[in-house]
Structure 1
Amino acid sequence: MTCLNAMAERTARKEQSAPAPSSRTALPLRTALRDAALWAVLAAAGFAGLSDRAQPSLVLLLLPTLVLAGAVPASRRWPAAAVFAVNGLCAVGLANGSSPGNAYAVALAVMTYLMGVRGGSRLNPLLVLAACLAVDLAVCAVLRVGPVWWFYTVTMLPLALLVPWLIGRYQQARRSLVRGGWQLARSLEEQQRFTAEQARLRERTRIASDMHDSLGHVLSLIALRAGALELSPTLSDQDREDVVELRKTVSEAVEALRETVTVLRDNGESGPAGTAVESVEELLERAGASGMAVELDRSGESPALSALVGRAVYRVVQESLTNATKHAPGSAVRVRISHARGSTEVRVTNSTPPSGPLPGIVPGNRGLDGLRERVTALGGALDARPFEGGFRVTARMPDRVGATPVASVTPQEVEPPRAESDRRLGAARRTASLRFAAAFAVPAAVALSVLPAAAYLSYQLSSSVLRPTDFSAIRTGQQRAEFAGRLPGQEYPYPPESVRSASREPGTSCAFYRSNGNLLDQVDIYRLCYSGGRLVSKDVLPGGPSTS
């Protein structure tokens, strides 16, 4: 039956998880629409980046559009290839002589984010990002670009590669956590329902066996008395026949009851029906003889309990001892049985085990589920939870079956339980928090390592600016000392090679200055050439990088 139930559950889950034919058709269409929308947004951002050009060539308009049209859908199956393709657009943009920045850095950030969300490729995503950065640096070296291009390559492009990937990786971990948590919750719920049902069935079988023990004994006595009455000489023939029929009917009822209980009993049940059950004192004596530290405390006048209630008291103590031996070996167990106002309360407490406090209620504890079924069927209530580092089981039942049910058991001193799922959820949240922190800590560390160099470069660029009014006021033939006050604090140390190699008078030494303080755009360069401390020429040279 267990195998059949498991097969039925798996079949039902497959049927529930299998998408309907209409959903199979709608899913590719929805994916295509999303990819088309993303492509349109990225292509529009690229066109906006080219709007500052007077007449962009057809290649600049068509090639990026085609690359994005292939990279967006490819990012679902080959995210690394999509990142490489879009990074190529950014690398090509470094050849722009006016500015290294281009709008395709946005597309690059989107592709790296999608690579993080969708799990990357077979290669290590970090190797993919490192390879992209190596390509960008190689392009800068081949084109012999200026410092602004180098600064853009070592700051902006790594941020577009690394930060979105880390955020996407965090999103992927969070989605996996949520999806796995729901799957685990469904699995645990199914397992809990199955184990609880099994425990209830087993306990009902035990209850049926206990009913046979008590009711069968009474019926046997009735049959015995009927047999003795059959031999009485004072009975008439008709009375004697009635007594014989009564004894026969009672014997048949006892046999039918025995057969019913035998069929209901699980294979694991030991002992035939009618076997004498030991008392709680005998059970604790056996436990103490096996090395367990046990203590029994009875209070109140012991009433005449019904057979089912007495058996339930025994089962509560027995299951509690079993759980203490299994989950808290070495702990001391105290059993307290009290009788008051027509009810019996059994409280079994085990102390903190030598190995440390208990983690909580063990999931799928069929014994406790069975106890709760038995006690509830008798009109009682059962509570089981951690207590002062150990564990406590409390059951309260009426002394007679059919009496007024007792109130629920909620001891005030009992600690609230903490389920296994709560601990797992806490650990998963800590892991997700660490990944979320890494998504910001790593870029922050990269930024801290780059910021000093960026600040120094900004200082060099801003402190080498010669204002156009001062440049116009300087006249050739003047001595350097006459206009030294108009010059900035230092010369521009990174003029392009085309500016350095521009023609000049032989035997002169030249100084270079930036024409304005714009740090990202390329600006014109002022050149002042001296001969023996006298200004012999001043020139305005374009500051674009040399592509030769």
Structure 2
Amino acid sequence: MPVGRTRPAAAVFLANLVVASGLAHPAATASPYLLALAVLAYLLGLRADRAGPALVLFGACAALDLALCAVLGVGAVHWFYALSLIPAALLLPWLAGRYRQARLALVHEGWERARSLEERQRSVAEQARLRERTRIASDMHDSLGHELSLIALRAGALELSPTLTGQDRADLAVLRAAVSDAVGHLRDTIGVLREDTEGEEPTAPAVEPVEELVARTRESGVTVHLRREGPARALPPLVDRGAYRVVQESLTNAIKHAPGSTVDVGIVRRADRTEIRVTNSAPPSGSPPAGPPPAAGRAPGHRGLTGLRERVLLIGGTLHAAPREGGFEVLATLPDQVNPERVRSTGEPREESGSPASRRLAVARSGARRRFVAAFAAPVGFGLVALVSCAYLAHQLTGCVLRPADFAAARVGQDRAEVARLLPEQQFRYVPDAVRALPVPAGTVCAYYRSNGNLLDRVDVYRLCYAGSRLAAKDVLPG
């Protein structure tokens, strides 16, 4: 037992030596240390991680036991003991220990997974707050930026009025410049708040119809044409809001970067999608500037289009924006049905099959299942082998029974062929060594038979000795 704490395999081998030493006893084969061998085999399965060395150890123990049986020349009962009971005491407890080890590993990995999920939950809560802030900032950019652009456009139109004095025009120019600066500062602020890798929450409040947005823009002096094609039908709120934001952002960019141009808005309903195309012509020459030029290296409307593209991709659509014939075109395709898994908020921790914790938990579960099956399949296998062995042994023991009446009918000096008609199919093979060692008549060959079919106890043995073809002697030997 002390050795088993640090070297469980060596402890099992030493215990097997103690058990195997009982094979040298001529009568009692069972060793009281068989239980100790089973306990140490269980501890080996519980403490050892690898199965290969244990199987090699069991093979070495079995080879040692069988070699000892061969050297000692033991009887059949000793061989049965070495081939069945000792391997069962080694293998079955070892499988139970391995199953217990797998269960403990599964419990450990489960607790580790729970701790990991708690940490992820705290991180997800913080990310949810950041996403909500980003969503509010994006809505501010879309709605407030559009309104400020309309204010700047109206100020630019009033600046050209012939009824204003020079001071009024100067004040309007300052107002328009201030509004343009506010739009630029708003765009920069939104760029700081935006998280490029995060999406929008799946729920969104209702928005005004696109017709009202176009009407308000037209009242500000912008030439806007709206064209609808296809059947009118209700769309999911997320798709309806996405279509509204596409039109709003496109009008805002046209007002800021192409003042005085004509804007065409086309909404086409297909069988399973909606196409939105917003195109503005080239700005006319001599139109008032729309504010200070964008910073070097930054394309006009870049941040607005980036957020718009994220919104469209989130619901499974596509967005293309590029210059066209001196103007600019924005083409968005939105699906009528949105996959909820695609837009599901990441506020809930989801099972990630590729994460290290998930892989470790899957390995622990698989190992527990395999060892559970082995821990129960091995005893079943041993039971079947023992059942077949017992059935074969019972057949042999009942097939060598010589009835007392037939034994009495056999006479000394009778011909062997006549005696054979009274005998069973086969002789008794498992004669105790003490019985077989009794003296026999000189020059005779003896055959042994059981006196009854009792399988659970030793019975008297009938011995018939032949000298040539004649029955020379018959004896009743105590079992």
* Cα distance in structure 2, aligned partners of 1:218 and 1:499: 116
Give unpaired runs (5+ residues) of structure 1: 1-68, 270-278, 280-294, 324-332, 338-346, 350-359, 374-416, 544-548
1:9-20 equivalences under 5 Å are none
Per the alignment, residue 314 of structure 2 pairs with 319
**SS of structure 2 residue aligned to 1:493:** coil
* Cα distance in structure 2, aligned partners of 1:225 and 1:159: 95
**SS of structure 1 residue aligned to 2:429:** coil
**SS of structure 1 residue aligned to 2:394:** helix
Say if 1:528 and 1:539, in contact at 8 Å, map to a contact too: no
Per the alignment, residue 130 of structure 2 pairs with 201
Q: Does 1:459 find its partner at 2:435?
A: no
Structure 1 residue 129, shift from structure 2 partner: 1.8
Using the size of structure 1 for normalisation, the TM-score is: 0.49
Say if 2:465 and 2:474, in contact at 8 Å, map to a contact too: yes
**SS of structure 1 residue aligned to 2:87:** helix
Among 348, 354, 379, the residue aligned to 2:338: 348
* Cα distance in structure 1, aligned partners of 2:458 and 2:37: 23
Q: Does 1:218 find its partner at 2:162?
A: no
Per the alignment, residue 136 of structure 1 pairs with 65
* Cα distance in structure 1, aligned partners of 2:376 and 2:409: 50
Say if 1:196 and 1:369, in contact at 8 Å, map to a contact too: no
1:76-225 equivalences under 5 Å are 76-119=5-48, 123-184=52-113, 186-187=115-116, 190-191=119-120, 194=123, 197-198=126-127, 201-202=130-131, 204-219=133-148
Q: Does 1:508 find its partner at 2:437?
A: no
One-letter code aligned to 2:431: P
Question: Given the superposition, is the C-alpha separation of residues 300 and 450 from structure 1 closer, same or farther in structure 2, using an over 3 Å criterion?
Answer: closer
**SS of structure 2 residue aligned to 1:151:** helix
Say if 1:296 and 1:335, in contact at 8 Å, map to a contact too: no
Structure 1 residue 509, shift from structure 2 partner: 3.0
* Cα distance in structure 1, aligned partners of 2:114 and 2:67: 51
Using the size of structure 2 for normalisation, the TM-score is: 0.54
Q: Does 1:369 find its partner at 2:303?
A: no
Question: Given the superposition, is the C-alpha separation of residues 312 and 130 from structure 1 closer, same or farther in structure 2, using an over 3 Å criterion?
Answer: farther
1:421-440 equivalences under 5 Å are 433=369, 435-440=371-376
**SS of structure 1 residue aligned to 2:338:** strand
* Cα distance in structure 2, aligned partners of 1:296 and 1:428: 57
One-letter code aligned to 2:396: Q
Say if 2:152 and 2:180, in contact at 8 Å, map to a contact too: yes
**SS of structure 1 residue aligned to 2:430:** coil
One-letter code aligned to 1:456: Y
1:125-171 CA-partner distances (Å, limit 9, x unpaired)? 22222222222222222222211221222222222223333333334
1:434-487 CA-partner distances (Å, limit 9, x unpaired)? 5534444444445545544442233333554679x9999899978699999998
Say if 1:513 and 1:526, in contact at 8 Å, map to a contact too: yes
Q: Does 1:299 find its partner at 2:289?
A: no
**SS of structure 1 residue aligned to 2:443:** coil
* Cα distance in structure 1, aligned partners of 2:352 and 2:236: 37
Question: Given the superposition, is the C-alpha separation of residues 299 and 500 from structure 1 closer, same or farther in structure 2, using an over 3 Å criterion?
Answer: same
Per the alignment, residue 70 of structure 1 pairs with 2
Say if 1:87 and 1:132, in contact at 8 Å, map to a contact too: yes
**SS of structure 2 residue aligned to 1:321:** coil
Say if 1:93 and 1:100, in contact at 8 Å, map to a contact too: yes
1:417-496 equivalences under 5 Å are 433=369, 435-445=371-381, 447-449=383-385, 451-464=387-400, 490-495=426-431
One-letter code aligned to 2:98: R
One-letter code aligned to 1:348: V
1:160-215 CA-partner distances (Å, limit 9, x unpaired)? 22333333333433443443344345435644654674465256335314413432
Identity %: 47
* Cα distance in structure 2, aligned partners of 1:483 and 1:104: 48
Structure 1 residue 268, shift from structure 2 partner: 7.3
* Cα distance in structure 2, aligned partners of 1:439 and 1:453: 22
Question: Given the superposition, is the C-alpha separation of residues 501 and 449 from structure 1 closer, same or farther in structure 2, using an over 3 Å criterion?
Answer: same
One-letter code aligned to 2:2: G
Question: Given the superposition, is the C-alpha separation of residues 518 and 178 from structure 1 closer, same or farther in structure 2, using an over 3 Å criterion?
Answer: farther
**SS of structure 2 residue aligned to 1:512:** strand
Say if 1:226 and 1:243, in contact at 8 Å, map to a contact too: yes
One-letter code aligned to 2:448: F
One-letter code aligned to 1:321: G
* Cα distance in structure 2, aligned partners of 1:474 and 1:483: 9
* Cα distance in structure 2, aligned partners of 1:219 and 1:434: 68
Structure 1 residue 92, shift from structure 2 partner: 1.9
Per the alignment, residue 47 of structure 1 pairs with none
Structure 1 residue 522, shift from structure 2 partner: 7.3
1:282-326 CA-partner distances (Å, limit 9, x unpaired)? xxxxxxxxxxxxx997525999x9999944996654213269xxx
* Cα distance in structure 2, aligned partners of 1:202 and 1:510: 98
Question: Given the superposition, is the C-alpha separation of residues 527 and 442 from structure 1 closer, same or farther in structure 2, using an over 3 Å criterion?
Answer: same
Question: Given the superposition, is the C-alpha separation of residues 319 and 255 from structure 1 closer, same or farther in structure 2, using an over 3 Å criterion?
Answer: closer
1:391-410 equivalences under 5 Å are none
Question: Given the superposition, is the C-alpha separation of residues 244 and 321 from structure 1 closer, same or farther in structure 2, using an over 3 Å criterion?
Answer: closer
* Cα distance in structure 2, aligned partners of 1:260 and 1:92: 87
Give unpaired runs (5+ residues) of structure 2: 199-209, 211-228, 248-307, 319-331
One-letter code aligned to 2:233: S
* Cα distance in structure 2, aligned partners of 1:470 and 1:108: 48
Say if 1:226 and 1:244, in contact at 8 Å, map to a contact too: yes
* Cα distance in structure 1, aligned partners of 2:149 and 2:459: 113
* Cα distance in structure 2, aligned partners of 1:301 and 1:122: 61
* Cα distance in structure 1, aligned partners of 2:466 and 2:241: 119
Please tell me the root mean square deviation across aligned C-alpha atoms, in Å: 5.8
Report the number of matched residues: 364
Say if 1:466 and 1:514, in contact at 8 Å, map to a contact too: yes
